[in-house]
Structure 1
Amino acid sequence: MNNTKWIFFSFSVPSRLQGFRVKIWRRLNALGAVQIKNSIYVLPANEQTQEHLTWMGKETDEQGGESLIIANGNLLNISDSQISAAFTRARDEDYLALGEEIRAAVAEADSQERPAALRKLEKRLEVVRAIDFFPSGKGENLQKMLDEAQHPPVEGHPVIPLAEAARYRQKTWVTRANPYVDRLASFWLVKRFIDPAASIMFLHDADAVPSGSDIVSFDMAHADFTHVGGLITFEVIAEAFALTTRIPPKMREVIKAIDLEELDAAPVETPGVWRMLDGLVAANSDDHARIEQAFVFFDTLLASYTPQISTGK
C-alpha cells in the first residue's frame, strides 16, 4: 500500500471516565492506529477508518469528553515516511510477539493442545495482518510457518509431474456432465490461473471421450488429470501447474473434504461452504450456467482466505 493521506484522531475525557478511555484505546489499537506526539492517533484515510473514528468521536463527545478528527491531513513536521515507519514498527512488535508464541507451540510436538493452540494463533495472526497497512513480509512468513506446522508433508505423498502451462492454452477441457465440487473447482483453477480462454465440454454416460491435440480430459477414469493416490483432481491440477502457493492450504482442505465427504478433520467452515455449494448446484441445472456461477463462488472463497485491507482512495 502506498498511501500518503491520513486521518488523525485526538480525544480527551475527564479523569472519572477512565474505563471509557481504556475502551477507546482498545478500539484504536484494534483498528491498527499508531500514536504520534503523545495525544494524536493516525490511520490511513479511507471510508472505513473515517466511519470508525467518527463514531468514536461522537461517543466521546456524548460522554462529556472532547474529540478532534482531521481527514486527509498532512503534518508539516512529520513526513509520510515517518508515519508509515511507525505503522511498520507497531506491526513488527506484534509479529515478534506472535512469532515467539508460534515457535513455542510448534515445539510442543506431542502436546494434545497443540492443534487448538495453533488455530488460535492463526486467528490472531489474521487479525494482525488485517491491520498491516505496509506489509514487510513478516506476516506472510509466520503464516507459512503455521501452515507447515498444521499441514506437515504426508509420507508417501504422490509425486505429480510438472506441466508446462503454455502447452495447455487454447484447449477444450472435457469432463463428465453434472459437475460438482471437484470438477467445478478444477475448471476454476484452469480458467483463473492457467488459461482464461479455456473452454469446457461435458460428456454424458454414452458419449465417447473425444481425442485430439486440443482436448484435455479431467476428473474421469484414465483422464489426463484425475485422482492420484489420495489427491483429488483439484489437488492434482494445482500441483501439476505449481499453483499450491496460490491456493491457501485450508481452502484446499475444504474442497477435498467436500469431495470425499470427510468432515471429521475438516476445517470448521466446511459444512457452511458445502451447503452454499449445494445451493449453487440446485439453482443451476444447466452445466455451463453452473460453471459460470462456480467462478464467482470460488473467487469469493479464495478471497475469504486471503487477508484483505481496505485502503479507500
Structure 2
Amino acid sequence: MSRYTYNIRYEMSISKYADLSWLLLAFTLPTKRASQRVEVWRKLQRYGTVPLGNSGYLLPSNPSNEERFQWLATSIRKYGGEASIVHVRSIDNISTPQLIARFAEARAREYQELIRELQTFSSLPVQKRAVGRLSRLRSRFQEIVEVDFFDSPLQKRVGELLARADEARVARRLPETAKIDPKEYKNRIWVTRPRPGVDRSACAWLIRRFLDPKARFAFAPEGQVPQAAVPFDMFHGGFGHRGDACSFETLQKDFKIRDRRVKVMSEIIHDADLADGKFGRKEGFGIDEVLKGWARQGIPDQELLDRGMQLIEGLYHSLA
C-alpha cells in the first residue's frame, strides 16, 4: 500500500491518541447479491467508515461502532457471505495521524458539500427558502456530526451557516423581553397545564436543574393559576411559546442558560413538541410517545411529570 498523503492537518497531541485502536470489518458477499451489496455499502457510508485498501473498512474502536459492525456482520452472514471484525492496535505502514487524516478528509468532503448546498439555499430570497429543505440540510448535518469522530473544524462553520440561514428565515423579530432577575424565581411554585408532555417535562427539568432547585410543581387549567405561582407552558402568560419557539426555548433564552447540552436539547424539544422539522432533530419523539403512553394509562400528573423529568435527565447525560 502506498504512503497516504493528505492536505487537511490537525494540530494534535500524539499522547491524546496513544490509546486509540481501530475496528476492521472484513467481508465477502456472493456476486449474485447485488442489492445486498448496495445495502451494505450504504450502511458503511452512513457509519462513517473509511476503506483500508481491499482489506475491509475501518472505524475507531468504541462500543457504539463495534455494535454497528456486529449487526452489519450478522446481516452479511445471513446473505450468505462471510464477515469478520478485527480489533486493530496499529498498522505497520500507516500511522495513527495518517488514519485520523483519512477520516478527517472524508468528513471534510461531506461538510464541504453541505456548505455548497447551504450557500445555494442562502442565496435565494428569504420568501423562497423552503422550511423543508432547511430541515433536510439540518438532518444531514446531524448525520455527519454523528460520525465526525475527530471534530472537524468545518463542523463549527456549517453550524454557523445553518444558524444564519434559520435567522434569516424568520421574517419578523420577536419583541424584547424585560430583564429577569433569577433571584426572584427561587423557592417558587411553578404551574403548568395537566397531562404534561415533552415540552412541559423538559421545562420542569430545566427549572429544577438550573433555575430553582427547590421548585415545586402544580397543575391548573387556563385561567386558574394561583396568583403567587409562576406559570409555564400555558397558553396565556408566563413562560410559554413565543413566536416559533417552544416553552423550553423561552426559558433557556430568558434565563440565559449557556450550557452546551441545553442548547442541543432546545432543538430536540422544539422538534418533538412543534413537529415542524426546524432543526432536523428526532431524539425527542420517542420521549414524547412514552409520555403519551403513560398518560393513556391514567398515571397522575405529578408522577407523569417526575417520570418525564427523569427521561430528560437521561437525554441530557446522553449528550455528554
- Pick aligned residue for 2:73 from 30, 38, 54: 54
Matched ranges for 1:256-275 at <5 A: 257=274
Letter in structure 2 aligned against 1:127: E
Report the aligned-residue RMSD. 4.4
Structure 1 stretches of 5 or more lacking a match?
211-215, 258-262, 309-313
Q: 1:186 aligned to 2:203?
A: yes
1:208-256 CA-partner distances (Å, limit 9, x unpaired): 545xxxxx72337997x4348646654432211224734444632543x
- Provide the rounded CA distance (Å) in 2 between the counterparts of 1:183 and 1:17: 49
Which gives a bigger RCO, structure 1 or 2 (Cα 8 Å, sep 6+)?
1
The equivalent of 2:306 in structure 1 is 292
- Per-residue CA distance 1:56-76 (angstroms, 9 max, x = gap): 66368x35xx65542243223
Give the drift of 1:290: 2.1
Of 45, 60, 63 in structure 2, the residue corresponding to residue 44 of structure 1 is 60
C-alpha contact 2:50 2:103 (8 A) present in aligned 1: yes
Determine helix, strand or coil for the equivalent of 1:159: coil
Structure 2 match to 1:96: 112
User: In structure 2, do the counterparts of structure 1 residues 14 and 227 end up closer, same or farther at CA, with 3 Å as the change threshold?
Assistant: closer
- Structure 1 pair 25–173 and aligned structure 2 pair: CA distance change class (3 A): same
Written as runs of structure 1 = structure 2, the 5 A alignment for 1:1-313 is: 4-11=20-27, 24-37=40-53, 39-45=55-61, 46=63, 47-52=66-71, 54-55=73-74, 58=77, 62-63=80-81, 69-109=85-125, 112=128, 114-150=130-166, 152-163=169-180, 167=183, 171-175=187-191, 178=194, 180-181=196-197, 183-195=200-212, 197-202=213-218, 209-210=227-228, 217-219=230-232, 225-227=238-240, 230=243, 233-243=247-257, 245-249=263-267, 251-252=269-270, 254-255=272-273, 257=274, 276-283=290-297, 285-299=299-313
Q: What SS does the corresponding residue of 2:263 show, helix, strand or coil?
A: coil
Deviations 1:90-121 (A, max 9, x none): 10111011110121122122675733332332
* TM-score under structure 1 length normalisation: 0.69
* Cα shift readout 1:26-76 (whole Å, capped 9, x = no counterpart): 43222211123454421122331330453366368x35xx65542243223
CA distance in 2, matches of 1:179, 1:159: 31
Tell me which amino acid in the other structure corresponds to 2:106: A
Cα 1:191–1:284 change in 2 (3 A) is farther
Q: Displacement of 1:271 after TM fit? A: 9.2
- Provide TM-score, normalisation by structure 2: 0.68
**Distance change in 2, residues 1:299/1:17 (3 Å):** same
Is the CA contact 2:188–2:215 (under 8 Å) kept in the aligned structure 1?
A: yes
Q: Which amino acid aligns with 1:49?
A: R
